[in-house]
Amino acid sequence: MLVCSTRLSSPYFLLPLTILLLAPSYGTTAEKAPKPDGRPIVPGFERFYNDAMADRLQGGRLLWGELSCASCHEAESGKQATPSNKQAPILDNVGVRVRHSFFRKFLRDPQAFKPGTTMPDLLAGNDAAERERQVEALTHFLASTGTLKRVRADFVAAAQGKQLYQQAGCVACHGTRDGEGNPDKVLSTSVPLGDLRAKYSIASLATFLENPHTVRPSGRMPAILNNKEAIQVGNYLLRGQALAKAAANVRYSYYEGSWENLPDFEKLKPLAEGKADGFDLKAARRGNNFALRFEGYLHLDRAGEYRFHLTSDDGSKVFVDGKQVVVNDGIHPPSLVSSKVRLDKGTHKLTTGIFNGGGGVELLVEIQGPGLPKQPVAPLLTLNPEGNPKPATQPVDPAEDDDFAIQPELATKGRELFGSLGCASCHQLKIGGNPIVSTRQSPAMGKLRAEGGCVSEKPAKGVPNYSLSATQRGALTAAVSSPAPAAKASAGEMIQRNLTALNCYACHQRDKRGGVEPAVDALFATTQPEMGEEGRVPPALDGVGAKLRLDYLKHIFNQGAHDRPYMLTRMPRFGEGNVPGLAEAFVEADKGKLEPVAAVKFDEPASRVKSAARKMCGGNSLGCIKCHTFAGHKAEGVQGIDMLLMPKRLQHDWFYRYLLDPQKLRPGTRMPTAWTNGQTVLEDVLGGSTAKQIESIWVYLQADGKAALPAGLKKNSIPLVADKEAIIYRNFIEGAGARAIGVGYPEKANLAFDANELRLALVWQGEFIDAARHWTDRGVGFEPPLGEGILRLPTGPAFAELAKDDELWPTNPAEESVGKFRGYRTSTDGRPTFRYAYRGFEIEDFPNAVSGKHSATIRRTLSLRAEKSPSNLWFRAAVADKIEDLGDKKGYRINGESTMRFGEAQAKIRKSGGKMELLVPIQFRDGKARLTQEIEW
Amino acid sequence: MNIKRIVFVFFCSLVFSPALTAADKAPVEDDYYKILRYDIPKGEVMEVGALEFMPDGRLAAGTRRGEIWMIQNALDPDPKKAKFSRYARGLHEVLGLAAKGDWLYVTQRCDLSRIQDSNGDGKADVFEVVNDGWGISGDYHEYAFGSRFDKNGDLWVVLCLTGSFTSNSKFRGWAVRIAPDGKLIPTCSGIRSPGGIAANADGEMFYTDNQGPWNGTCALKHLVPGGFMGHPDSFKWYHLAKNLGSAPEKPHTNSRFMTEAKRIPQYVPPAILFPYGKMGQSASGIECDLSGGKFGPFAKQMFVADQTHSTVMRVALEKVNGHYQGACFPFRQGFGSGNVPIRFAPDGSLIVGGTNRGWGSRGPRPFALERLTWTGKAPFEIHEMHAKPDGFELTFTHPVDAKSAGDPKSYAMKTYTYIYRAEYGSPEVDPTTPTIDRVEVASDHKSVRLVVSKLHEGNIHELSAGGVRSNDGLPLLHKEAYYTLNYIPAK
């Protein structure tokens, strides 16, 4: 049996065979789909009816609607074939959105050019010459309806578009595509996209994606993307599209050399010059030590103040009419500099220069001004002051030529054919506001015989050829022989029919039918992996009619939804008009599935009811807000559905039953209950009544989005204060590592010791530290000191033996620590003495805060012990740009911001690795040494 | 008065009254085990992460904020008599405490330290690192849970992964032992996100791991030295564990626990699976009842806390084909916060600590310290559940009523398991519904044999014994039992 053998190749082959056999209606399909062998692909048919065992009648009725049969064959009065008839694409102004070269290629043989298309071949029976004439006429006519819109390709957008395509839900119906936008994993149920590059320009595809229902009104292609996203996905799907007009719009000059700032290009001779499409850094011939200059012309409609934003790695500048406007010079990682300039209306010469020393390279110039929202400036430029030159009259591949001269007489003939062949039976195409009328005559449905015509294996001349498979012909024959009765379908039938026709089953399961197919399952992703399946896979629709409010169901059909902030796949917009009565059918089918909830009466005043609920939802009670967002505020861990959305979405009784027993309504959910077996854990809230407690939360959330925020939503600060004793805080401290030991002293000086690197890492004045980051929620991230005057002490080992005076100071070994941290002892007032060992000697390190004249200082005593005294041992006290010896035991001034003294010891200042170092020699006597370090800042 | 009527009344009271009493007021957990709550000193936040009793009888409580509190009079019948004093602060998320001699051993994120109050002022002043041979990167998920000392004097530490999926710091995802000389012995790989660690009555070490990647549901797992516990991202540290040789073969995703156990010799399948949502959602602290009966009729059984459900569950293990497996049972719910550590007191009561910071719990309090005491009255419960080649044997805490206990209709059974996979969690899969063909009640009425067709090796067998009555007509306090049937015994 085919179903079984293909299933065995899926990753779920380990499921016991019994389950597979019991549940064929899940309708999963194989990862590697068979080539569609030129039949029209209707996903619902492929998934549920493309099998000799399947219900031919239901499959046929589905095809009748999806192949738009009723557009030609009227239903007999009193009978209906199918409730939904998929309308063919609207072709008004089709020349604006489809490449003119496409018409010819597609019409010659629709099924060959776009395998799986539902468009029949109306010319199939004609002889070759006649066909070619008709194709040509139709092509000229369709091309005459408009000029194709184009925009420049945007590679950054394409990368974002790839992510959207994978995550927003496109893959559920269309299968996966690779980095270049080409088909990758295509399922047998995937709606084929054909050669998109042959059909669309980026601009026209984006327009379609943003609002597909304008062209395809029946909602089979739902809307899922906003304007910006549609442009991104358009760029991704058409990546690498070769447009006949390769349009250079700037001139570039290329230079090589090693610079620390942008060179003066006037003094350099370029290695290469040429034309480029925007500021294309690919003009560089190597990755490092190069510079590029771009020149183009900017045309401004208005005078006014313009702001330029220059992002680059490394340095760059922008000039307008030879005047420097923005400078982002020097060697640096990607960084942004903005500045503004007044510009007159008219044409300006814009020059941009960039150089790269090493590492990454990046350049983005954006403009913002009167009538110009912030956008990249490169696409606005032209090669010459008067504009871009006309495209070179180099020979264009006729098959790719979208700009062929339209012959009016051919177009007129094509327009006639559009009506007479029957194109107009399915496709609306208005000229001057009036649709072309089809003059094609077809028998009414009731007059159809169950053979011949469109369902022939080889349809006769003039008869539409859909390239139907034998299974499809059989199914359609069954449907024609047995038109559906006029009586209204049951709610269950109606749901199944709609979910099949609109391919809702690609994401949702209901009554064990449909659901995400294994081959694309892994692409359904979440921002909260710890939520498991419920965090990433669209919910099953069992019982949805008892869960969601009728108006909200309709709202979802009309607007789509993205209520689950953690789920990357979105519910797209189908248009309620395309599923008339579906919301009501859900409600009817699921009526009585939920045990009704008795009305709850409160004796308490409404204000007390709401405040009790508010308290329960808060962080110190049931903690709903730990996992649910609330009025847009983020939760601590999992970001569950916003609580204020609940009364808008949910039916009251479902909410009530769900809170009582979440597992029953959503098996496997992470939602816990506070009312196990109906018993509350809060005996002192609303008299300990479970019913009142749940009802009160419903009432509280109703407040039309104005519910007072529950406690615990916003973090308070928890400043730690050393009062009479020193206070220790071990945690992730910014600048002192994951194993930091912070010490706050009553004298209001503080420090952080890095117990991994065995070094004093930070000292600072004033307030110690705010523990709120680590002591609320899960405690994510590194916390910086709370006070001011943060002094960062050298990283790397603090002690080293140097054989020679100019030997470089060692760095920490890659994996291991330089020594061992042994712990600490505290004085009676909590001041720690750290104990650690370097190879060969043990250290006791007692840093202490001492009140000073203006601010506290740190006085540190280091006692060292060694079995065998090390020679040439140094302590590195500072690494800085500038270190001065103040002489006369006044100490050493570091970067002009702090002063260090070392008692009697004579420190040494040396230059090393482009910096200054302050080194103190350690002299052992009888295996012991002592060092004091005073830091004043 | 009519003599006949007197006789009738007498008859009624003799025969029906226990049943009537039982029906009038079904027994509840609180009739047998009481929860006492300590008052935390005002203004203090005590998110309890570890518990230990000091040799002098004080209760030590370590907290997530890095403090250690000493509690005197913790076992006074009146919890208000307990006296709290802060012993240490500034430690890094204390999730393990073990007393030995003058020292208190503290497992914190970055190391195992031992601390001491050397001058007797009631505050620790010596903090000595015993071992710090594992890494921390600054990721909040990198917790370290410490055991108490095992029979060899080793202390075990289970190290949570960096986040849910990966091991980015040394030995994250491992169980390690710290020997008395302070050396670290790499012991087991495959840990994901532990919630507690303790030894059973045989001295064998167990830990709880939580639902997530490679963990279809929460589980109690036996730490067999050299074993692999299920999550393969820890394999990257085998080069530092020369004592264990090379890494095991990586498990296949979307498989089953027992399928992989047959393929990978080092893999130790979970001894007990806690069905998700039924038996908690975040398994945490573990204790074995070694009180010799002071805690009721469950001597030598294991107790496992749950953070989300604020419960303590009960586990009865047995060895089949040389492997630990067994059943878990509901035991006590209604604790104040999210239970993490549990610890038996010398008097046989159970101390329970809780926090719900970052992960919500049924218990509504942000933190709590509680004590569970036995009233001295034994509840009517399934005492143990043993696997047999053709079914199960149940023992009970009270003699059963032979009629109800002998009726197959008093029981219902279903089986299922979870997918073993790289993805987070799993739905219940592979369901079967065995039939209970026959029930044999032992002559002493203390046990029954269920003859079942047919058992499903590798699946959890969920039993509901709702129809069983005790000799006194009582229903079971908890009618559910969940047996993780990794192996069916040959005899």
Q: Inter-chain contact A738–B358, Cβ cutoff 8 Å?
A: no
Q: Does A458 touch chain B (CB under 8 A)?
A: no
State how far residue B7 is from chain A, nearest Cα, in angstroms. 41
Domain closes at, from B359, B374, B389: B374
Q: What is the per-residue DSSP string for A25-46? A: GG----SSPPP-TT----HHHH
Q: Does residue B434 share a domain with residue B367?
A: no
Q: Which residues contact A603 (CB under 8 A, 6 or more apart)?
A: none
CA A20 vs. chain centroid, Å, equals: 35
Q: Does residue B282 share a domain with residue B426?
A: no
Q: Does residue B447 share a domain with residue B354?
A: no
The structure tokens listed for A781 are 């991230």
Q: Does A530 touch chain B (CB under 8 A)?
A: yes
Q: Does B26 touch chain A (CB under 8 A)?
A: no
Tell the burial category of A540 from Cβ atoms under 10 Å away from its Cβ (0-12, 13-18, 19+).
middle
Q: Does residue B411 share a domain with residue B336?
A: no
Q: Do the domain assignments include residue B25? A: no
Tell the burial category of A371 from Cβ atoms under 10 Å away from its Cβ (0-12, 13-18, 19+).
exposed
Q: Does A609 touch chain B (CB under 8 A)?
A: no
Mean pLDDT computed over every residue of chain B: 94
pLDDT by residue for chain B (491 residues), tens only, comes to: 344 444 444 443 434 434 434 445 789 999 999 999 999 999 999 999 999 999 999 999 999 999 999 999 999 999 999 999 999 999 999 999 999 999 999 999 999 999 999 999 999 999 999 999 999 999 999 999 999 999 999 999 999 999 888 999 999 999 999 999 999 999 999 999 999 999 999 999 999 999 999 999 999 999 999 999 999 999 999 999 999 999 999 999 999 999 999 999 999 999 999 999 999 999 999 999 999 999 999 999 999 999 999 999 999 999 999 999 999 999 999 999 999 999 999 999 999 999 999 998 999 999 999 999 999 999 999 999 999 999 999 999 999 999 999 999 999 999 999 999 999 999 999 999 999 999 999 999 999 999 999 999 999 999 999 999 999 999 999 999 999 999 999 98
* ipTM for the assembly: 0.93
CATH number at residue B185: 2.120.10.30
Instruction: For residue B90, list chain A residues with Cβ-Cβ distance below 8 A.
Output: 727-730, 741
Residue among A771, A765, A788 at smallest CA distance from A717: A771
Q: Does residue B463 share a domain with residue B320?
A: no
Output the pLDDT for position A277.
81
Cα distance between residue A715 and residue A729, in whole Å: 19
Q: Which of B125, B137, B427 sits opposite A533 (nearest CB)?
A: B427
CB A165 within 8 A of CB A237: yes
Q: Inter-chain contact A822–B365, Cβ cutoff 8 Å?
A: no
Q: Which residue of A has its CA nearest to B47?
A: A775
Q: Do the domain assignments include residue B288? A: yes
Q: Inter-chain contact A19–B254, Cβ cutoff 8 Å?
A: no
Q: Which residues contact A809 (CB under 8 A, 6 or more apart)?
A: A796, A797, A800, A802, A876, A912, A913, A917
Q: What is the pLDDT of residues A284-315, one digit of tens each?
A: 887 788 999 999 999 988 899 999 999 998 99
Could you give the number of structural domains in chain B?
2
Instruction: For residue B140, list chain A residues with Cβ-Cβ distance below 8 A.
Output: 778-781
Domain closes at, from B350, B374, B398: B374
Q: Does residue B305 share a domain with residue B227?
A: yes
Cα distance between residue A192 and residue A186, in whole Å: 8
Instruction: For residue B276, list chain A residues with Cβ-Cβ distance below 8 A.
Output: 668
Q: Does residue B353 share a domain with residue B384?
A: no
Cα distance between residue A268 and residue A284, in whole Å: 16
Q: Which residue of B has its CA nearest to A11?
A: B254
Q: Amino acid identity, residue B420?
A: Y
3-state secondary structure A636-684: CCCCECCHHHHHHHECHHHHHHHHHCHHHHCCCCCCCCCCHHHCCCCCC
Q: What is the pLDDT of residues A905-925, one digit of tens each?
A: 999 999 988 899 999 999 999
Q: Inter-chain contact B358–A674, Cβ cutoff 8 Å?
A: no
State the residue range of the domain holding B266. 31-374
Q: Does A678 touch chain B (CB under 8 A)?
A: no
Output the pLDDT for position A242.
57
CATH number at residue B448: 2.60.40.1220
Q: What is the pLDDT of residues B81-106, one digit of tens each?
A: 999 999 999 999 999 999 999 999 99
Q: Does residue B369 share a domain with residue B432?
A: no
**A238-257 exposure pattern, b = at least 16 Cβ within 10 A, e = fewer:** bbebebeeeebbbbbbbbbe
State how far residue A751 is from chain B, nearest Cα, in angstroms. 14
Cα distance between residue A221 and residue A239, in whole Å: 21
With a cut of 50, which residues of chain A have pLDDT below it?
1-36, 81, 244-245
Query: In a mutagenesis test of the B interface, which of A537, A730, A733, A776 is the best target, namely the one with the most B β-carbons within 10 Å?
Result: A730
Residue among A410, A441, A526 at smallest CA distance from A137: A410
Cα distance between residue A294 and residue A422, in whole Å: 54
Q: Which residues contact A471 (CB under 8 A, 6 or more apart)?
A: A49, A50, A51, A52, A59
Q: Report all structural domains of chain A as residue ranges with CATH numbers, in order of start.
A: 1-30 (no CATH), 155-237 (1.10.760.10), 250-380 (2.60.120.1560), 494-589 (no CATH), 606-702 (1.10.760.10), 719-936 (2.70.98)
Q: What is the pLDDT of residues B240-274, one digit of tens each?
A: 999 999 999 999 999 999 999 999 999 999 999 99
Q: Which of A619, A668, A828 sits opposite B121 (nearest CB)?
A: A828
Query: In a mutagenesis test of the B interface, which of A521, A663, A670 is the best target, namely the one with the most B β-carbons within 10 Å?
Result: A670
Q: Does A833 touch chain B (CB under 8 A)?
A: no
CB B374 within 8 A of CB B348: yes
How many interface pairs between A and B have CB atoms less than 8 angstroms apart?
153
Q: Inter-chain contact A15–B429, Cβ cutoff 8 Å?
A: yes
Instruction: For residue B427, list chain A residues with Cβ-Cβ distance below 8 A.
Output: 533, 667-668
Domain closes at, from B374, B395, B420: B374
Secondary structure E strands in A397-529: 430-431, 434-435, 484-485, 509-510, 513-514
Query: In a mutagenesis test of the B interface, which of A14, A527, A715, A716 is the best target, namely the one with the most B β-carbons within 10 Å?
Result: A14
Q: Does residue B173 share a domain with residue B149?
A: yes
Q: Do the domain assignments include residue B151? A: yes
Q: Does residue B473 share a domain with residue B457?
A: yes
CB B309 within 8 A of CB B281: yes
CB A484 within 8 A of CB A79: yes
Q: Does A711 touch chain B (CB under 8 A)?
A: no
Q: What is the per-residue DSSP string for B199-260? A: E-TTS-EEEEE-SBBTBSSEEEEE--TT-B-S-GGGGGGGGG-GGG-SPPPPPPTTB-HHHH
Output the pLDDT for position A761.
97
Q: Provide the chain A residues 615-674 that lie in CB contact (below 8 A) with chain B.
A: 616, 619-624, 626-627, 636-637, 662-663, 667-670, 672-674
Q: Provide the chain B residues 199-228 that lie in CB contact (below 8 A) with chain A.
A: 211-213
Q: Do the domain assignments include residue B325? A: yes
Residue with tokens 């009506």: A419
Q: Does residue B92 share a domain with residue B212?
A: yes
Q: Which of B111, B364, B428 sits opposite A674 (nearest CB)?
A: B364
Output the pLDDT for position A37.
63
State how far residue A618 is from chain B, nearest Cα, in angstroms. 10
Query: In a mutagenesis test of the B interface, which of A739, A783, A842 is the best target, namely the one with the most B β-carbons within 10 Å?
Result: A739
Inter-CA distances, A386 with A302, A383, A531, Å: 17, 8, 59
Q: Does residue B90 share a domain with residue B127?
A: yes
Output the pLDDT for position A23.
36
Q: Do the domain assignments include residue B40? A: yes
CA B95 vs. chain centroid, Å, equals: 16
